[in-house]
């Protein structure tokens, strides 16, 4: 339909979004808790009436879906374009509104003088309360248009949202949270590493100062893009505040000829009136329903064994078969052969790019190992790093010009590898053929661990132009092409751990490798941060060696297993190091995971606020009949006894049987509450309002409780 509505309103189960269409450009008027039909947009507009301020514009430039220099906006514009004319001051005007369906609307705005069209697409998912928003820019002019910045739709925020939490980190310590109060000016995070990155995850929380896991208003924002990005939250001098995210384009990276368009990555946003746990539940629901494949949703996530921290590059068929024998008896369901299987790969200095089996290590190919693994009842998976090449490789010696580079600038040394230029069709064709040949030669390979282990420091392609935008799209196309050619193929997104975890890559893959650190104490915090946007079913979580190879810390097998149990569980160690008691414990943990796997991967996660002494969480089903709660002691309490564990997410009136299901045996200083409460019945009200006095335990102790509804209800 043509432009006619003064307002557009979208409703989901718990949220309402209102866009004001009366001015030159569409602007978000309201996004938050669902409003009743009695509350009209006209009411909101009247209530937001602002007067002329002293020494200020009579009418402020709006914080539109793309704030524009052409409108006189003095904050961060949502669009920055240049040509040899006047495109820099573009001012598209709303020309058409298309209501696609009840959940989706598109706003078209055109600047006829400059030959530019913007289309903002907003889609509010009814069940998950997640908004997906994107911007499409089209050049209608005969003159080429250089795009410096085209953000996803900019979202104005309410005044009482005055706190920001970002997600930062480093290799092996991803998803750390940092909070600060909004200040006059901009909070800006930029990522130029050519991948999602360890240190600047493209996600932000904006919330009230008193918000916690179960209380307070909060918004979550995530940019679904696996390349460079920019995030900005600004508090203007006039008191307005807004959030803006988009792809960070390098100088001269994107030019549109006449008729060409640029589509921004999607911004995913949601709101909760009852704390961060509910906000995460929205994102989890959206991921499970909209991003994951039918196969991923329907198939139980197989317990993994990954060979990396067990043998590294020391491959030997007999040894690998021995490892397979050991892990199969533990209950492992998928055996993943990590780095070291291909030609010349005896360390990280050579072989990348030569994706053929090393005949010196595997004289009969991979068939003997795959057949052995399959006979043990396990699937077979394999490690690849398609985007990279070692200078010491046949591929590089034949095609030294196939790498990204910057003319007359020396390549930075980084893990003895360079980045292939995927903007060359011949490169992606080579990679597809090499991987396709491998999968056709060994059709039992049902899983690829797809790694990407270095930053892109010199991003110039074969044309001498910066190429992160096209490189990222080429990776997406290559993954899509392989999946289309091999039905049922599953792919894990790994990038030295968590450097490529985002909704863009997850829409094409089946699992993410959360972190290279298998230290259970580190993983508690890493997985907690990741869980703000990603459900347990996609978070790879492995039981690592007795002595963590990264931190050197020794963590009990009980705690290592318990932490891995609440993700997509796996093992990554040499299982021959296990003592008989450790073997029994790990077998029991895997069996416990399988018993509750479907529940963990579908129930709602409840993170409990932490006092720093323990990191605690639970899962509860939608009917509130069943729950699992984990208490993880990481530091000795400052008091003589720990605090109570106050359960959340239960039904107050229901009666639950309380049972400890992990660990199998627990050493205690003296008799505790655990001897009193086992298999006893308690109301949800008592468990939530009064709580359970926790026993005195040493750090590195995990206790998992199961709650099961009993017949009848509390009087």
Catalytic residue among 125, 451, 455, 510: 451
Half-sphere exposure of 354 (CA within 13 A, CB side): 22
Mapped onto helix, strand or coil, the DSSP state of residue 245 is strand
Q: How many residues does the chain have?
A: 715
Q: Are 446 and 489 in contact (CB under 8 A)?
A: yes
Give the other-Cβ count within 10 Å of 291's Cβ. Answer: 19
Q: Exposed (0-12), middle (13-18) or buried (19+): which is 66, by Cβ within 10 Å?
A: buried
Exposed (0-12), middle (13-18) or buried (19+): which is 41, by Cβ within 10 Å? buried
Catalytic-residue membership of 516: yes
Half-sphere exposure of 210 (CA within 13 A, CB side): 5
Integer Cα distance of 264 and 471 in angstroms: 15
Is 10 strand, coil or helix?
strand
Inter-CA distances, 532 with 182, 214, 536, 542, Å:
21, 13, 10, 20
- The long-range contacts involving 672-677, CB below 8 angstroms and separated by at least 24 positions, are 672/696, 674/703
Token digits of residue 386: 């398609």
DSSP 414-469: -TT-EEB-TTSHHHHHHHHHHHHHHHHH-TTEEEEEE---S--SS-B-TTSSB-HH
CB 349 within 8 A of CB 392: yes
CA dist list (Å): 370 to 104, 198, 337, 559: 47, 33, 10, 32
CA dihedral over 139, 141, 144, 149, signed as positive or negative? negative
What's the CA gap between 285 and 294, in Å, rounded?
Answer: 14
Strand, helix or coil for residue 715: coil
From the list 435, 434, 430, 349, the residue with the least C-alpha distance to 390 is 349
CA atoms of 387 and 90, how far apart (whole Å): 38
- The DSSP call for residue 391 is S
Alpha-carbon distance of 706 to 600, in angstroms, equals 12
The encoded tokens of residue 227 equal 């390349």
Residues with Cβ within 8 Å of 425's Cβ and at least 6 positions away in sequence, in order, are none
Residue for token pair 């990396």: 308
Dihedral angle of Cα 19, 23, 27, 29, to the nearest 10 degrees: -50
SS3 state at 574: coil
How many CA atoms are closer than 13 Å to the CA of 135, on its beta-carbon side? 27
Q: Give the start-end residues of each E strand in 598-640.
A: 604-607, 614-620, 626-633
Nearest to 573 by CA among 394, 323, 403, 365: 323
Indicate if 480 belongs to the active site: no
Give me Rg for the CA atoms of the chain.
27
Please state, in angstroms and rounded to a whole number, the distance separating the CA atoms of residues 104 and 645: 43
Q: Where are the beta strands (DSSP E) in 38-144?
A: 79-82, 93-101, 104-111, 116-124, 130-139
Copy the structure tokens of residue 264.
């921004």
Give the separation between CA 497 and CA 451, rounded to whole angstroms.
Answer: 9
Which residue is catalytic, options 20, 421, 516, 522?
516
Short-list 162, 131, 111, CA closest to 16: 131
Catalytic annotation, residues: 451, 516
């Amino acid at each position: 339909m043509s432009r006619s509505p003064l307002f557009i309103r979208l409703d989901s189960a718990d949220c309402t979004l209102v866009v004001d269409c009366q001015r030159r450009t569409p602007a978000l008027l309201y996004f938050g808790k669902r409003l009743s039909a009695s509350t009209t947009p006209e009411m909101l507009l009247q209530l937001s009436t602002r007067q002329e301020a002293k020494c200020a514009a009579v009418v402020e430039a709006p914080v539109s879906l793309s704030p524009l220099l052409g409108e006189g906006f003095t904050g961060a514009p949502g669009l920055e374009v240049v040509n040899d004319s006047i495109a820099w001051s573009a001012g598209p005007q709303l020309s058409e509104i298309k209501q696609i369906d009840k959940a989706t609307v598109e706003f078209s705005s055109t600047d006829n003088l400059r030959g530019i069209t913007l289309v903002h697409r907003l889609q509010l998912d009814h069940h998950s309360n997640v908004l997906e928003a994107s911007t499409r820019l089209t050049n209608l002019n005969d003159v080429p248009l250089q795009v410096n910045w085209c953000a996803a739709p900019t979202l104005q925020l309410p005044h009482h949202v005055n706190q920001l939490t970002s997600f930062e980190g480093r290799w092996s310590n991803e998803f750390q949270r940092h909070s600060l109060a909004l200040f006059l000016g901009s909070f800006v995070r930029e990522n130029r590493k050519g991948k999602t990155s360890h240190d600047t995850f493209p996600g932000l929380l904006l919330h009230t100062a008193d918000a916690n896991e179960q209380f307070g208003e909060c918004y979550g924002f995530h940019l679904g893009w696996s390349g460079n990005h920019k995030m900005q939250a600004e508090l203007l001098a006039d008191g307005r505040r807004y959030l803006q995210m988009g792809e960070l384009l390098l100088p001269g990276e994107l030019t549109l000829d006449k008729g060409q368009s640029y589509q921004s990555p999607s911004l995913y946003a949601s709101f909760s009136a009852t704390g961060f746990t509910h906000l995460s539940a929205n994102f989890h629901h959206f991921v499970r329903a909209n991003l994951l494949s039918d196969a991923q949703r329907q198939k139980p996530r197989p317990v993994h064994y990954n060979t990396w921290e067990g043998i590294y590059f020391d491959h030997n068929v007999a040894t690998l078969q021995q490892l397979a024998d050991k892990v199969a008896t533990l209950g492992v369901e998928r055996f993943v052969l990590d780095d070291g299987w291909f030609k010349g790969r005896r360390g990280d200095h050579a072989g990348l790019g030569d994706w053929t089996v090393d005949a010196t290590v595997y004289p009969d190919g991979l068939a003997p190992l795959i057949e052995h693994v399959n006979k043990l009842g396990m699937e077979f998976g394999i490690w690849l790093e398609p985007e990279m090449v070692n200078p010491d490789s046949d591929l590089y010696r034949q095609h030294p010009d196939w790498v990204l580079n910057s003319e007359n600038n020396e390549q930075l040394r980084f893990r003895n590898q360079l980045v292939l230029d995927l903007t060359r069709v011949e490169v992606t064709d080579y990679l597809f053929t090499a991987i396709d040949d491998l999968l056709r030669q060994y059709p039992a390979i049902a899983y690829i661990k797809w790694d990407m282990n270095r930053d892109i420091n010199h991003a110039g392609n074969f044309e001498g132009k910066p190429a992160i935008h096209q490189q990222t799209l080429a990776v997406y196309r290559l993954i899509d092409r392989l999946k289309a050619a091999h039905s049922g193929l599953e792919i894990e997104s790994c990038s030295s751990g968590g450097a490529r975890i985002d909704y863009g890559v997850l829409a094409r893959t089946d699992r993410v490798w959360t972190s290279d650190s298998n230290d259970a104490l580190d993983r508690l915090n890493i997985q907690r941060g990741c869980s703000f946007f990603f459900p347990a079913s996609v978070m790879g979580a492995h039981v690592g060696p007795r002595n963590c190879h990264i931190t050197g810390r020794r963590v009990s097998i009980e705690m290592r297993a318990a932490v891995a149990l609440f993700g997509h569980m796996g093992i990554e160690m040499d299982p021959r190091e296990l003592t008989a008691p450790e073997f029994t414990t790990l077998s029991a943990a895997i069996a416990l995971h399988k018993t509750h796997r479907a529940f963990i991967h579908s129930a709602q996660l409840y993170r409990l606020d932490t006092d720093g002494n323990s990191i605690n969480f639970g899962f509860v089903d939608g009917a509130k009949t069943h729950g699992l709660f984990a208490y993880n002691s990481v530091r000795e309490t400052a008091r003589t006894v720990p605090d109570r564990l106050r359960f959340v997410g239960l039904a107050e009136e229901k009666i639950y049987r309380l049972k400890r299901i992990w660990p199998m045996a627990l050493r205690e200083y003296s008799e505790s509450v655990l001897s009193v409460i086992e298999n006893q019945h308690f109301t949800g009200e008592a468990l939530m309002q009064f709580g359970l006095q926790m026993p005195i335990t040493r750090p590195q102790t995990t206790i998992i409780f199961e709650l099961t509804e009993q017949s009848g209800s509390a009087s």
